[in-house]
Amino acid sequence: MAVTNTGTRTVIALVENKAGVLARICGLFRRQGFNISSLAVGKSEQEGLSRMTFVVEGPEEVVRLVAAKLDRLIEVVKVEDISDLDHVYREMVLIKVSADNEKRGEILQLSNIFNVKTVDVGSDQMTIETTGESSEIESLLELLEPYGIIEVMRTGRVAVLKSKE
The torsion angles phi and psi of 100, rounded to 5 degrees, stand at -75, 180
Q: Rounded to 5 degrees, what angle do the CA atoms 117, 127, 139 make?
A: 70
Of 58, 60, 52, which is closest to residue 155 (Cα–Cα)? 52
Architecture of domain 88-161: 2-Layer Sandwich (3.30)
Instruction: Encode 126-141: b = buried (16+ Cβ within 10 Å), e = exposed.
Output: bbbbbbbebebbeebe
**pLDDT recorded at residue 111:** 79
CATH topology of domain 6-85: Alpha-Beta Plaits (3.30.70)
Domain boundary assignment for the chain = 6-85, 88-161
- Give the chain's residues under pLDDT 50: 1-4
Instruction: Give me the pLDDT at residue 5, please.
Output: 52
Q: Name the pTM for this structure.
A: 0.79
Nearest to 77 by CA among 51, 100, 58, 102: 51
pLDDT on residue 59: 82
91-121 as b/e, with b when 16 or more CB fall inside 10 Å? bbbebbbbbeeebbeebeeebeebebeeeee
What would the pLDDT profile of 73-108 be if each residue is shown by its tens digit? Answer: 889 999 999 988 899 999 999 999 999 888 998 898
Please report the pLDDT score of residue 3 as a whole number.
Answer: 41
